[in-house]
Structure 1
Amino acid sequence: MKFGIMASHQYPHGDDLGRHLEELFGTVELAAELGYDSVWTINHFQSNLATPQPISMMAGLIPRSGDMTLGTGILLLPLFHPVHVAEEFATLDHLSGGRVVLGVGAGYRENEFAAFGVDPATRFRRLDESIRLIRALWSGGPVDHDGEFYPLSGASIGIRPLTPGGPPIWVGAGGRKAVRRAARLGDAWYAPGNSPSPRYLPEHVGVYDEALVEYGKDPASVERPIGVELYCAPTTDEAVATALPHARVEYSTYAEYPALRWQRDRFDDLVRNTLLLGSPEFLIERVSALRELGFDHLIFRPGWLGMPAAQVRASLRLFAAEVFPAFR
């Protein structure tokens, strides 16, 4: 089992961004020292939180992340031109020594699509076409592409990736059709661990495995990442008391977007079914259940809005000391 952290670089407008980033970089350096496997950046535009952009953040994290994998969790691919993404991630692949993953998704916030003049009804077709085109550009040869959105003739990128064929592409997806798309297009399905329904993950793992076989891929050969919310403390009561107020503030902020209003109404269900707040023993039990479903790369947000860096780091230290040994 691998363990990664979400950089979670989102802060209230008006806060001292420089101080927040300095603390974040220190936390990532600590995670690298503790043996965490990966670190992931966030992408939003015109957000109600100050959100530095993910490609720039990845470049800033490269010298601070040891030998950790760096990825986007996730890049809103329909809002980027695929040539831009292919060039940027080929560059990051070289700068990092081949440690990057391109994590992508279709997006959901209406204001973001409006800002870029993109019809949200086209987002899945754009995602599909972009992934196929990025892979073609990473091959290094001239590309002729008669696409719906991104036609190209004799196109090639200026830098070939260091990794043959380019970095892995992980596809974030929630619904059944989207999970099947992830199986068809991606090297991995980046599964969301925040559904309030306990049936969601078992059912959608089944959908993904069936689709992999249908598309001629071996289900045993793909990495199985999942994104969750996690805080570790000596006791479960302490973990809940420390983390829950900050998580509630952050989820209330997300719920200002129409597509996420349900999170405010069903926050108690989220706490029961998806927020992993607990002692090492409790977390070993919950992570074991995810491993039984086939997941082998747990990526978690280690802190929420307003949580002091000292508390975030205490959780990371305890989790590494007490939970890692149960899975490695």
Structure 2
Amino acid sequence: MTLKFWVTAPFFLGDSPRPWGALLSDMLDLAQAAEDLGFEGISMPENHFQNYVTNPSSLNFCAVVSQRTTRLRLQPGVIVLPYYHPLLIASEISMLEALAPGRVEIGIARGGSRPQFDRIGVPFDEVRERYEESLDIIQRAWTEDDLSYDGRFYSFPETTIVPKPASIPDLWVAAQSVEGVRKVAEDGLNLLTMPNYGNFEPHGDFPMLLQAFNEAAEASDKPRGGVMVLRHVWLGQTEKDSQKYFDNLVYHWNHYSAVVKNSGRTDTAEGRLTRRVDDVGRQFIKGGIITPEKNSPSRDDLFENFDDPIMTTPDRMIERVKGYEQLGVTRLTVHQAWGQPIGDVIENMAFMAREVLPAFAEEPASVPA
């Protein structure tokens, strides 16, 4: 299967003085550009109570985009299942599928950041088990009538969600650690992944992660799921041109680094691919604003030193992505909006659509003579 290209609508606000409505408008423009330029789909991340990802409802945003596009595939996610009652999420996803028939896929996660759980009253040590129950309920609610449940966290009498999805959306499970990707593979689900510590990921980590996924899939009795990987991408006519927004990317990364600070060792591949552990009671958000870290990675030999970000020329981008394809990646989500003017983002998306996407086009069917 030929690798497909997606984009993401990251909703990064940072310290911008612009109103949030302007950012919303930018993300809608990005979604329309993805449709017009031939990207297969768009993922819409969701997060709460901070300025790193300022989209509190990926399902609502997908619903709006569904009415402005006709072929673009839509992936709300990741939806952190323990935040919500599974019957309500199952119903809302069904409605989205009715708005965009056959175009909906769902990104899900158990949740890896403690502050949100502390604020909505969900004990962090219950998250994994809540996620497992929720996923079971959602999958059954899509197909069963009069479903009743008596679990540790969720119990309800006979219930039928209305409407049911006309077609069952594919599920993509977010995992960034070796432990996490093995579980996804064992369950026969699709993997949604990115560097465990945001970006500036050295070469070698991703093949190690994929090896763990592939080995677990082979050992299971279920088929191997697809693999969608996110990469921070900016293209230029020259290497220097491609680094025009390097400082913006570092600033964006330092917000993510604040979220995962002190959550594990990062000086070895094994440490970077270990499940992160959140600190208890650490304060790094005030007034909804994250205090960013102060990492200052070098821009020298960026392509040679790091697998992510990919800030380079189109020919080297193709080279890198062909390598992903050989590893078994089925989709690449490109992250190109970390604070730049939206016009420049869309122009770079168009540059990629012209110079990179054709190298991954489906082979035309042969016509008998």
TM-score, with structure 2 as normaliser? 0.81
Aligned to 1:6: 8
Query: In the TM superposition, what are the counterparts of 1:138-149 in structure 2 within 5 Å?
Result: 138-149=142-153
CA change 1:192–1:258 in 2 (3 A) is closer
**Given residue 323 of structure 2, which amino acid in structure 1 is its aligned partner?**
A
**Shift of residue 188 of structure 1?**
0.3
Q: Aligned with 1:103: secondary structure?
A: strand
**Given residue 75 of structure 1, which amino acid in structure 2 is its aligned partner?**
I
Query: In the TM superposition, what are the counterparts of 1:246-257 in structure 2 within 5 Å?
Result: 246-257=248-259
**Shift of residue 259 of structure 1?**
4.0
* Cα distance in 2 between the residues matched to 1:117 and 1:73: 22
Is structure 2 residue 323 aligned with structure 1 residue 301? no
Aligned to 2:87: 83
Deviations 1:14-62 (A, max 9, x none): 5222222222212221221111001111111111347122111111111
Aligned to 2:325: 291
Aligned match for 2:40, one of 37, 42, 45: 37
* Cα distance in 1 between the residues matched to 2:223 and 2:259: 38
Q: Is the 8 A contact 2:188 2:217 kept in 1?
A: no
Q: Aligned with 1:145: secondary structure?
A: strand
Is structure 2 residue 99 aligned with structure 1 residue 65? no
Q: Is the 8 A contact 1:4 1:39 kept in 2?
A: yes
Q: Aligned with 1:144: secondary structure?
A: strand
**Given residue 183 of structure 1, which amino acid in structure 2 is its aligned partner?**
A
Is structure 2 residue 21 aligned with structure 1 residue 18? yes
**Given residue 343 of structure 2, which amino acid in structure 1 is its aligned partner?**
A
Q: Is the 8 A contact 1:243 1:303 kept in 2?
A: no
Q: Is the 8 A contact 1:144 1:153 kept in 2?
A: yes
Q: Aligned with 2:311: secondary structure?
A: strand
Q: Is the 8 A contact 2:146 2:159 kept in 1?
A: yes
Aligned to 2:97: 93
Query: In the TM superposition, what are the counterparts of 1:221-236 in structure 2 within 5 Å?
Result: 222-236=225-239
CA change 1:33–1:283 in 2 (3 A) is same
Query: In the TM superposition, what are the counterparts of 1:311-326 in structure 2 within 5 Å?
Result: 311-326=344-359
Cα RMSD of the aligned pairs, angstroms, is 2.2
**Given residue 308 of structure 1, which amino acid in structure 2 is its aligned partner?**
P
CA change 1:266–1:84 in 2 (3 A) is farther
Q: Is the 8 A contact 2:188 2:223 kept in 1?
A: no
**Given residue 207 of structure 1, which amino acid in structure 2 is its aligned partner?**
A
TM-score, with structure 1 as normaliser? 0.91
CA change 1:136–1:62 in 2 (3 A) is same
Aligned to 2:213: 208
Deviations 1:188-235 (A, max 9, x none): 01122447243322222222222223331223xx32211111112222
Query: In the TM superposition, what are the counterparts of 1:81-230 in structure 2 within 5 Å?
Result: 81-163=85-167, 166-185=168-187, 187-193=189-195, 194=199, 196-219=201-224, 222-230=225-233
User: Identity over the aligned pairs, expressed in percent?
Assistant: 23
Q: Is the 8 A contact 2:47 2:53 kept in 1?
A: no
Paired positions, count = 322
* Cα distance in 1 between the residues matched to 2:232 and 2:219: 32
Higher CA-based Rg: 2
Consecutive unaligned residues of structure 1, counting only runs of 5 or more, are none
Consecutive unaligned residues of structure 2, counting only runs of 5 or more, are 267-292, 362-369
**Given residue 181 of structure 1, which amino acid in structure 2 is its aligned partner?**
K
CA change 1:24–1:216 in 2 (3 A) is same
Structure with the bigger RCO (C-alpha within 8 Å, sep 6+) is 2
* Cα distance in 1 between the residues matched to 2:87 and 2:187: 17
**Given residue 342 of structure 2, which amino acid in structure 1 is its aligned partner?**
A
More helix per residue: 1
**Given residue 252 of structure 2, which amino acid in structure 1 is its aligned partner?**
E
Deviations 1:49-79 (A, max 9, x none): 4712211111111122331110123111121
* Cα distance in 2 between the residues matched to 1:101 and 1:127: 18
**Shift of residue 186 of structure 1?**
5.5
* Cα distance in 2 between the residues matched to 1:60 and 1:85: 17
Q: Is the 8 A contact 2:67 2:99 kept in 1?
A: no
**Given residue 153 of structure 1, which amino acid in structure 2 is its aligned partner?**
P
Q: Is the 8 A contact 1:232 1:319 kept in 2?
A: yes
Q: Is the 8 A contact 1:113 1:120 kept in 2?
A: yes
**Shift of residue 248 of structure 1?**
1.1
